[in-house]
Structure 1
Amino acid sequence: MDWYAIFVETGKEELTKILIQQKLNDYKVKCMIPKRKLPEKRDGVFFHSFKLMFPGYIFLQLKLNYEIYYCLKEIPTVIKILNYNSPEFEYISEDQKHIDESLYFKKIDPEDIMLLIDLVGEEGVLDYSEIFIENRLVTVLNGPLKNLEGAIKKVDKRRNRAKVEFNFLGNKSIFDVGVQILHIRDLH
């Protein structure tokens, strides 16, 4: 099954996920709302907060066809499904029923979705990575960013965050992610 992105009302992603699971209960549908875990400090106390990686988007894994498309469109918080051709204006005659309807919808590139799944895991949360900094060179020792040091553009040592950059859905995306800085060594 392929992955698709749907655009929903911002702030109503969790509600929309529940509505999708209720409405498409008979279909095998997997919903993902990727989040990132960030350290925040209030009144001198650190705590963990969770922020959406893509506000206003839900990712679905399913075999999409027009029937499911129209079921999704009935959900009031769904704005649109990213697609190539609008099924509202597409006429399929009886002799064309064998055509794979999923071709009309924009699938997420398998490399993009695999990177995202590797980052957020089964829980859908991009957790902290443990990093080591030597002469401004960052090495990820453990965590979801391991072997992705090239994606780290900047480290904020005071806030325990890193800016990372990924190409996703054909766009450059920059995120703040939480990191645990194990050691900093400057050899100047």
Structure 2
Amino acid sequence: MKVTSDCVKKAVIGVHWYVLFVKSGREHRVEQYLKKIVGIDMINPFIPLHEFLFKISGTVKRELKPLFPGYVFIESDMAGQEFIRKLYNKIYLLSDIVRILKYSDTEIAVRDSEKQMLLDLCNNEHCIESSRGVIKGDRIYITNGPLRGRESIIKKVNRHKRQALVEMEFMGDKRLVSVALEIVEKVV
């Protein structure tokens, strides 16, 4: 099976995700290295991204940043032990790669529930785009974007920075990650 970079909204049975912990700021270098040294039909390395909104001279600009700085994901149809056996030596040739993340010695692939959460939030480029919403009283209502219908995962909103902190599971831990959220109206 050839792995493609298209995100589907349902986790594909038989396709696993693995996570590499890499030196911070070297994510794109590791991604390109993996694409070059390993057959593209065996793996698809990618970096989950999120839109970052900021204002310069009165204009809102958009920039893409890693959702999980210091991590590179690998999509593959190889099961855990086969993945380790075939790629271990190639992965550790690059000094920018620190280690493969694992839940335990026998559980290496990202759990389906964690994978599905990312797939639900991502577009086809593994990127969480910005959402828009309104605040009515003390409640947030998302009107469009990937956070629509998922208001419960929003833990904090910074209107001035156009960001929301959302809670996600990542390799067995709960993490707060920043995603773009524009609040277009606040009603008291």
Partner residue, 2:88: 69
> What is the Cα deviation at residue 105 of structure 1?
5.3
Which of the numbers 106, 121, 131 marks the counterpart of 2:133? 131
User: How far apart in 2 are the matches of 1:34 and 1:44?
Assistant: 29
Instruction: State yes or no: 1:168 paired with 2:170.
Output: yes
Partner residue, 2:45: 31
Say if 2:159 and 2:182, in contact at 8 Å, map to a contact too.
no
Task: Output the amino acid matched with 1:164.
Answer: V
Partner residue, 1:107: 109
Matched residues, number: 168
> What is the Cα deviation at residue 157 of structure 1?
2.2
Instruction: State yes or no: 1:2 paired with 2:16.
Output: yes
Q: Which consecutive segments of 4 or more residues in structure 1 shift more than 4 A? A: none
> What is the Cα deviation at residue 43 of structure 1?
4.8
User: How far apart in 1 are the matches of 2:37 and 2:96?
Assistant: 13
Q: 1:38 to 1:15 in 2, by over 3 A?
A: same
Structure 1 unmatched ranges of 5 or more: 86-103
TM-score by length of 1: 0.81
Q: 1:150 to 1:182 in 2, by over 3 A?
A: same
Structure with larger Rg:
1
Say if 1:82 and 1:105, in contact at 8 Å, map to a contact too.
no
| Alpha-carbon displacement from aligned partner over 1:45-100 (angstroms, at most 9, x marks no partner) | 43222221111111111111412222212233211112434xxxxxxxxxxxxxxx
| Alpha-carbon displacement from aligned partner over 1:158-183 (angstroms, at most 9, x marks no partner) | 33222222222121211222112232
Say if 1:20 and 1:75, in contact at 8 Å, map to a contact too.
no
User: How far apart in 2 are the matches of 1:133 and 1:26?
Assistant: 45
Structure 2 unmatched ranges of 5 or more: 1-14
Task: Output the amino acid matched with 2:90.
Answer: C
Which of the numbers 42, 49, 56 marks the counterpart of 2:63? 49
1:175-186 alignment runs, 5 A limit: 175-186=177-188
Q: C-alpha root-mean-square deviation of aligned residues, in Å?
A: 1.8
